[in-house]
Amino acid sequence: MRPFTYTNAKNTQEALQKTTATTHYLAGGTNLVDLMKEDVERPDQLVDVNNLEFNKIEKNQSGGWSLGAMLSNSDTANHPDIRQNYPLLSMAMLSAATAQIRNMATNGGNLLQRTRCPYFFETSMPCNKREPGSGCGAIDGMNAVHAIFGYSKECIATHPSDMCVALAAMGAEVEVQKTDGSTRKIPFNEFHRLPGDRPEKDTTLEKGELITQIHLSSPEFADNYYYLKIRERSSYAFALISVAAGLSIQNGMISKVGLAMGGVAHKPWKLSEAEDFLKGKKANTENFEQAAEIALKDAKPFEKNKYKVEMGKKAIVRALQQATNRTA
């Protein structure tokens, strides 16, 4: 690990004023510190934001709840209001990592975690995300866990978060504070970006911006929901494929649907066409299978991750069936 300076910010103003071009904010540190140990991340300053006031869950003006960015994943997932009103989010968050890591990891940090592509972690290998211009070792290498949507010739890595897949399905806004003290809200599906020709940039955040809250709209999928995570072992493993499914069902007909996948792209992959297809249709397997075909029709797998196409279709059908049957 390289030398760095450490600042324990006492308030938001101090945290914002301390930022430089190579500063990282430090909350739980469950991903950042690992990357620093591996010499992947090389900040010259860490600004600790754990003492800031954004550590609560509270009602917001849209009729939903707002999640403090410095609140832990465990406290969020197990909060009574989240379990009752956003059980899809709770289910997804509790599938991640281990209890010990969830106790440390924060909501803001979860949104910012980096890919687990092995070429990104291994500093002796080429990786445009870690070292722009060095090449992408995964394209012609071991790419069994990599993207089938939205990638570029510069990067085929996937986004690792479970929480973010649920947020993509549900819809949310990310509030950030700028270094000048002003704030802005970013629609969740615009927060993460595809790699394009700048794979080193994971999000649409500007330099020095601090995530303060995640705003959830009024609850829609409190009854019919499911988060399906397919992985190589049952705990402490990232998704090969994941599906977050939320349904509003009235008299057997789907009136509202939220659907997103993880493990398939550089960002949580919103399945908008499949959602549009399902609206107004019966909640049955035949329609779920057609929605899955629509969702995967543009997939472009590599030689070693072709399995993700069929696995993805089956995962979508299963997640929708499980969501339907929760109250059926």
**Tens of pLDDT, residues 142-198:** 999 999 999 999 999 999 999 999 999 999 999 999 999 999 999 999 999 999 999
Average pLDDT, the chain: 97
Q: What is the DSSP letter of 61?
A: T
- Residue 208: what pLDDT? 96
Percent of the chain with pLDDT over 90: 98
Distance CA 272, CA 258 (A): 8
Give the residue-averaged pLDDT of 228-251: 96
Q: Which residues contact 193 (CB under 8 A, 6 or more apart)?
A: 201, 202, 203, 204, 266, 267
33: exposed, middle or buried (C-beta count within 10 Å: 0-12, 13-18, 19+)?
middle
Q: Does 302 have pLDDT greater than 60? A: yes
**Sign of the torsion formed by the C-alpha atoms of 104, 158, 241 and 257:** positive
Residue 328 banded pLDDT, cuts 50, 70, 90: very low
- Residue 52: what pLDDT? 97
Q: Which residue, chain included where needed, has tokens 């300053």?
A: 45
Q: Which residue, chain included where needed, has tokens 């991903």?
A: 31
Q: Does 115 have pLDDT greater than 70? A: yes
Judge contact between 165 and 157, C-beta under 8 A: no
Per-residue tokens: 58: 């509270």
- Residue 327: what pLDDT? 56
Q: Which residues contact 121 (CB under 8 A, 6 or more apart)?
A: 35, 38, 40
Judge contact between 278 and 254, C-beta under 8 A: yes
Whether the model pTM is above 0.95: yes
**Sign of the torsion formed by the C-alpha atoms of 226, 228, 234 and 235:** negative
Residue 235 banded pLDDT, cuts 50, 70, 90: confident
Give the residue-averaged pLDDT of 14-26: 95
- Residue 286: what pLDDT? 98
Residue 326 banded pLDDT, cuts 50, 70, 90: confident
Nearest 5 degrees, angle CA 30-CA 31-CA 37?
Answer: 100
Give the residue-averaged pLDDT of 201-217: 97
Give the residue-averaged pLDDT of 299-311: 98
- Render pLDDT for 83-104 as a digit per residue (tens, 0 to 9): 999 999 999 999 999 999 999 9
Q: Which residues contact 259 (CB under 8 A, 6 or more apart)?
A: 169, 243, 244, 245, 246, 270, 271, 274, 275, 278, 291, 295, 316, 320
Partners of 224 in the β-ladder: 247
Q: Does 292 have pLDDT greater than 80? A: yes
Domains of the chain: 5-50 (3.30.43.10), 224-325 (3.30.390.50)
Give the residue-averaged pLDDT of 132-147: 98
Q: Does 236 have pLDDT greater than 90? A: no
